[in-house]
A = this chain, B = another copy of it.
Amino acid sequence: MTKNERKPGRMSEQRQQRIRLEISREAARLFWEQGVAATTGEQIAAAVGLSVRTLWRYFRNKESCVEPVLAQDGDEFVALLRRWPRDVSLEDHLMEWAINRTKDPDQQSFDQAVIKMTVLAEKEPDLRTVWLMTNDRIERALVEIFADRLRRSPDDIEVRLHAAAATAVVRVISEDISAALMAGADPTSLGNTLGQMARAVHTATGGAVGDPVDP
């Protein structure tokens, strides 16, 4: 029985992730309040209560400190697509998201940070690179997911084109929604965002992705 994989002294994955998330929130707050350039690593470290050296062990550089925040929605989206049943349409499946989203205040304040960073990423070049890299990772995940669903190779150029186009339209819609919310739009007045995404993906993939497929 190789039951116990944890080595002595090793922190739990959860604890590590919680620290990363904590850093990310503080970094996002500081970036929002005073801009990226004006925020130093020292400030971020101090805000979380870590030494600067330790900060750089959690993140390779200043900008990527907000990566967990920026990647939040994208990672959820990918996870959602991973459990997309073959006999269900994309639009129907995406509704799961809306239902599953918890409404606790901590989650909501985090969502606020996600929106702020998404908006900030439109103007701050240093954050834009992080945002684009995040979407690049999503694209690579979609290649696998689409290849699986279409029963084609992940190397198939068509599959990669579909993944790239789908990721691109989802990103643009995310940016659009974030900007609208940031401008004070009522979340309920936004209409069926997920439906819009599903239709955009269907269109951008030339109809190849979105409909139910043979089991």
Residue numbers of A with Cβ under 8 A of B are 125, 128-129, 132-133, 136, 139, 157, 160-161, 164-165, 167-169, 171-173, 176, 200, 203-206
Q: How far is the CA of A45 from the CA of B104 in the complex (A)?
A: 54
Chain copies in complex: 2
Task: Add 20 more A-B contacts to A129-B129, A204-B206 (CB < 8 A).
Answer: A128-B133, A128-B136, A129-B133, A132-B132, A132-B136, A157-B172, A157-B173, A157-B176, A160-B172, A160-B176, A161-B172, A161-B200, A161-B203, A164-B168, A165-B168, A165-B169, A165-B204, A203-B206, A204-B204, A206-B206
Chain A interface helix/strand/loop/mixed: helix
Contact B161 A169 (CB under 8 A): yes
Answer whether A204 and B161 are a contact pair too, CB < 8 Å, given A167-B168, A168-B167, A168-B168: yes
Q: How far is the CA of A133 from the CA of B161 in the complex (A)?
A: 19
Q: How far is the CA of A204 from the CA of B173 in the complex (A)?
A: 15
Answer whether A171 and B176 are a contact pair too, CB < 8 Å, given A129-B129, A132-B133, A204-B206: no
12 pairs from A and B in contact (CB 8 Å cutoff):
A128-B133, A129-B132, A139-B168, A160-B176, A161-B169, A161-B172, A161-B203, A161-B204, A165-B204, A203-B205, A204-B204, A206-B206
Contact B173 A169 (CB under 8 A): no
Q: How far is the CA of A165 from the CA of B205 in the complex (A)?
A: 9
Q: Which residue of B lies closest to A125 (CB)?
A: B133
User: What residues on B are CB-neighbors of A132 within 8 Å?
Assistant: 129, 132-133, 136
A155–chain B nearest beta-carbon distance, Å: 10
Q: How far is the CA of A169 from the CA of B160 in the complex (A)?
A: 8
Q: Which residue of B lies closest to A202 (CB)?
A: B206
A208–chain B nearest beta-carbon distance, Å: 9
Q: How far is the CA of A157 from the CA of B129 in the complex (A)?
A: 22
Contact B164 A169 (CB under 8 A): yes
